[in-house]
Amino acid sequence: RAMGDMRDGPATGFCGRAFLMLKGKAVLIVDRVELPFAGLVESRLHTFFPVSFGRDEAIVRGKRHKLHVSFAASEPTVLRRGTGMSTDPGRDPDTVMRLMSTCKVKAITMCTLLTPDGKGAVELTERGARSVATVSGLVPSKVGFDTQGLGL
């Protein structure tokens, strides 16, 4: 009940986020959203550092290091740039990396791989009750979990 109630009942059946450290060198974020009615879903990451965007990846450039960000999802998505709404008039707004569903869905799993000073990619496979996130690049890994309810 992360979103509270709407006129017709709860806004979500389940909304969860898991952070998984991969061999101390990368972080995999798994977002799972289950809705009682079809809707648009997105996952966001915010930063004040410069970001370059690709089709399903982004590079965040810090003062001395860079962060490679790779995205995958169980449903069709698009990666878009957004701008935060600064509450400090003296500070530039943050950049938002928005992974957005391209159509209304009742359930979606979204994966984000954060690889500091390296490169990686994540692929997501859902087979019935189980999902597998496959990571390639700097930290090759496979992470399996229950699709519904994000049971790790």
pTM attached to this predicted model:
0.88
Exposure string (b/e) for 108-121, b if CB count within 10 Å is 16 or more? bbbbbbbbeeeebb
Per-residue pLDDT of the chain in tens (152 residues, 90 and over written 9):
445 555 566 677 788 899 999 999 999 999 999 998 999 999 999 999 999 999 999 999 999 999 999 999 999 999 999 999 988 888 899 999 999 999 999 999 999 999 999 899 999 998 888 999 999 999 999 999 887 776 65
